[in-house]
Structure 1
Amino acid sequence: MAENPRQDLFLDISQNLVDAEIRDLRNYVIGAKILPAGFVEKANAHQIFNQLEKQQKLKLGDLSLLANILRKIGRNDYAEQAEELAENEMKDSSKEQSDLACKRRRLDTTETKGNEGLEPFAAIQHPVANLKELHLYDNKIGNVCLRSLAAVLHHLPCLKKLDLSCNSIRDADLASLATSLHHVPSLQFITLCNNPITEMDIKDFAQTIPKMPALKQLNLVPYKTAHLDDTASTSISTMLTRLPALERLNLTNISMQDAGFRDMVTAVEERSVDLKLLYSEHLVPRATTGSIQLCGDGPEDGNYDIFDLCSDDETSSD
């Protein structure tokens, strides 16, 4: 029979609670409306715990409800065991993800939720040569988790696609990610859409990102509108010189002042590689130059314009 630490703990608690503790357990679970009274009144402790698990109230790596219940009935010893078990489950889960990554070219943890404040990448202790794509869309990734990822990027030398959209990324730790990107020279795609990043975060990221010869697409779209002054806009223009292969830069939901935006347009003009620049039309000044052509349909269809760099001899196409 496969080892099941949870069931071992549930059984151990059930066998060692005295009658008064079992009565308190039932009363608390009923009084707090955690489970229906009709079920709890006839159930023993083991059955109550199993029902909590069945109703997904005791999720993998999170036994805080169980620990709280045990403390309510005065069993701090078992509450501490439950918390230790939850911590071990989270470590085991992280290791499984790492082992899976070692075997796969693409790792997609989209909408698995619940990683904010954790370090799920800490288990990656050796190079993962096969991993090409890492999709972490909508995982509640916060700054602690982002630092954990940045610390192991040197183990992902062949990574080509990194999706960190719809998370909780903000503040200086975005720059810590940028600082570590030199470990993944093959990276071609980065998306940071719909994160609570600010003007300062964008500026720090642009100033910190190293030269990345393979990067083709960068999506830097804040959850709420970010207002860049001319200095911050110029930092993006300077960033473009370190991204020689960039073909698409998404800056929608970012407002810019006249001088900074025109400086960026000039930087796009001077590139040797065609670059599509996406931005929110109503948030930037109107700008037209000789070699940049308006290709989008305006804010009615997607709320952004697409500017496409065109050479003197031919017009680039999608």
Structure 2
Amino acid sequence: MSFRALILGAAAGGGLPQWNCGCQNCRLARAGDVPAQSQSSLAVTANGADWAILNASPDIRQQFANSPPLHPTGLRESPVRAVLVTNGDIDHVAGLLTLRETQRYTLFATDGIHDVLAANPIFDALREGVVARQRIALDTPFALVPGLTATIFAVPGKVPLYMEGETVETEMMGEQTVGVELTAGTARAYYIPGCARVTDALRDRIEGAAAVFFDGTLWRDDEMIREGLGEKTGARMGHMSMSEPDGSIAAFEGLDVGRKVFVHMNNTNPVLRPGSDEREAAEAAGWIIGQDGMEIEL
């Protein structure tokens, strides 16, 4: 057995191009001058036959259509056996509503995320007796699909936008934002599409990993403000930036990680433009800029 990961969507919420955005990247994507990217999701397998989906994006129908390994194997039979969501963000759970056509699979999430889904009756479309809702605990390994063991763990983050109150804690540690450790045989990889800060504990955890798929939302913290597209910094949105002294590139320096892959990139992020100074800087630091359809095997 070997670990395979297929990036279904490399972009953050809204994708590239975003439907209502006229930023440089979105204009270039519409013109076909930079690759378009769908919203954040990763498919993983250990045997090539049984697949798990990490985060169900609103683009999941087209993502499946673009991915031959996920095509149906029978009249109403899919190789997708499990879905695991790492938080309750719209761009990570809305795709569940597409996965309602009497397809059996197990939906894995923490108690906190399952409670969010249970509180919204629209998710009752995932029929009881067809979709098994499995509650999983932090730091407790479980079988995700045959040959692939997963362990979820808390990373600094915040509640989904639609759950924010008057005061927002952006580096909350708990069940609302998690990373995923994946092991198949001797291969160990991590999927962390949302993270507000790389803590010492997180550095220790990912040390020696064969691959890490990590939050690449923004190049710099005030990117949205500079582009005139919003009033929030990356930190306020619960995401660390790639660059700057406290960014993810600096945080990973000195770590023994085989492949470092940025995913969940906002439509404004300049690394999405091949040949940009920012992309070249990220690649010079040993990072791979994820894109839809990219496959990594360990």
Fold match (TM-score > 0.5)? no
Question: Normalization by structure 1: what TM-score?
Answer: 0.28
User: What is the TM-score with the length of structure 2 in the denominator?
Assistant: 0.30
More helix by share: 1
Structure label with greater radius of gyration? 1
Answer 1 or 2: which has greater strand percent.
2
